[in-house]
């Protein structure tokens, strides 16, 4: 009996310590303020409230951030107000990210395709210029292929959905999502994935070409955004491959103007992948921005903003 009691106590301690650490991490997590400026609003969608900022006058321009731990519209902090001088700019936080709700739903690619469709239709209410980042580009391409009346022009920054992040989830993906759903161990694994050190490393070594552009304030913002209650749901789905979307056929069918923008030193979707996109749709055009990684709009904002002005001016 004593042996079983000791085993039970040991098991409780093994789970109790990580649970305590998780609780401390969660308690210290406070929602970071939006850094964009403009008017802050919420769109009441069927799965939760969607935070967005808007500013400016003129032709509407929608900015959609990439996917990952701590991702949000903060990604556009160096573009939002500058572009609002020429456009009516909208930047939203996708469901499960930023200041938007994080409901316990099944996160998948079509969820975000539907969200963007409804946001454009119900909030913006007229054809838009749209700029996506990495995987969000796939959601915009799918929308533009199936609802071309909603779009004027597209700009895709280091897009995914043709070669990268296009495959369907398999057994490993299902296993990863199941692991993250475990009450204590799953949260512990997520907290390691989104630790302050891990977030800093991801930004400095994987997302930016120049690590010196990654400020302590930026690391702090991504870290805090990644630890709000419910954050694990969307990120686990991303890691498991459930947010992947193959848009090869959709991109090939696009007839509206498309500009691909690649950071010369992009990691997850290297610039060599651009040729595959151009082969699919010869009407698309490519601009490569030097000294930039996965976030050329954040790392080289002056050049990126100037490009947006030049490319989208015809529809403004």
Digit-coded pLDDT (tens) for 51-108? 999 999 999 999 999 999 999 999 999 999 999 999 999 999 999 999 999 999 999 9
Digit-coded pLDDT (tens) for 6-62? 433 333 334 443 443 334 334 445 667 778 999 999 999 999 999 999 999 999 999
On average, the pLDDT of the chain sits at 89
Question: What is the number of domains present in the chain?
Answer: 1
User: Collapsing DSSP states into helix, strand and coil, what is residue 88?
Assistant: strand
What's the farthest any 2 CA atoms get from each other in the chain?
80
Q: Is 194 a member of any domain?
A: no
Q: Is 21 a member of any domain?
A: no
Q: Is 261 a member of any domain?
A: yes
Tell me, rounded to whole angstroms, the distance of Cα 31 from its chain centroid.
17
Neighbours of 17 (CB within 10 A): 12
Q: Is 224 a member of any domain?
A: no
Q: Output the pLDDT for position 315.
A: 55
Q: Outline where 72-215 has alpha helix (H).
A: 80-83, 109-119, 135-146, 171-180, 185-193, 196-201
CATH number of 128's domain: 3.40.50.1820
The whole domain housing 98 covers 39-167+243-315
Task: Write the CB contacts of 77 (distance below 8 Å, at least 6 apart in sequence).
Answer: 35, 36, 298
Q: Is 99 a member of any domain?
A: yes
Q: Is 218 a member of any domain?
A: no
Q: Is 4 a member of any domain?
A: no
Q: Is 201 a member of any domain?
A: no
Distances (CA, A) of 14 to 7, 19, 99, 170, 189: 10, 9, 33, 31, 14
Q: Output the pLDDT for position 1.
A: 44
Helix (H) or strand (E) holding 236: helix 231-239
């Amino acid at each position: 009996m004593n042996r079983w009691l000791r085993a039970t106590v040991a098991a409780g301690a093994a789970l109790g310590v990580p649970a305590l650490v998780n609780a401390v991490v969660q308690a210290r997590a406070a929602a970071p303020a939006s850094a964009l400026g403009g008017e802050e609003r919420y769109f009441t969608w069927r799965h939760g409230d969607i935070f967005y900022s808007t500013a400016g006058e003129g032709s509407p321009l929608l900015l959609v951030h990439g996917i990952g731990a701590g991702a949000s519209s903060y990604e556009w902090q160096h573009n939002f107000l500058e572009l609002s001088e020429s456009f009516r700019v909208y930047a939203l936080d996708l469901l499960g990210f930023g200041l938007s709700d994080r409901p316990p739903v099944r996160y998948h690619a079509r969820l975000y395709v539907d969200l963007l469709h409804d946001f454009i239709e119900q909030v913006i209410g007229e054809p838009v210029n749209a700029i996506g980042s990495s995987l969000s580009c796939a959601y915009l391409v799918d929308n533009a292929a199936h609802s071309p009346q909603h779009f004027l022009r597209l700009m895709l920054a280091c897009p995914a959905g043709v070669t990268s992040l296009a495959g369907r989830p398999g057994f490993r993906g299902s296993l990863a999502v199941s692991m993250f759903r475990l009450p204590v161990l799953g949260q512990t694994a997520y907290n390691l994935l989104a630790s302050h050190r891990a977030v800093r490393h991801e930004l400095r070594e994987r997302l930016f070409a120049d690590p010196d552009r990654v400020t302590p304030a930026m690391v702090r913002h991504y870290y805090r955004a990644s630890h709000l209650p419910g954050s694990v749901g969307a990120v686990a789905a991303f890691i498991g491959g459930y947010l992947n979307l193959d848009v090869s056929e959709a991109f090939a069918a696009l007839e509206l103007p498309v500009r691909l923008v690649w950071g010369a030193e992009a990691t997850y979707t290297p610039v060599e992948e651009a040729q595959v996109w151009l082969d699919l749709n010869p009407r698309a055009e490519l601009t490569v921005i030097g000294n930039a990684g996965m976030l050329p709009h954040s790392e080289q904002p002056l050049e990126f903003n100037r490009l947006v002005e030049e490319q989208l001016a015809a529809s403004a």
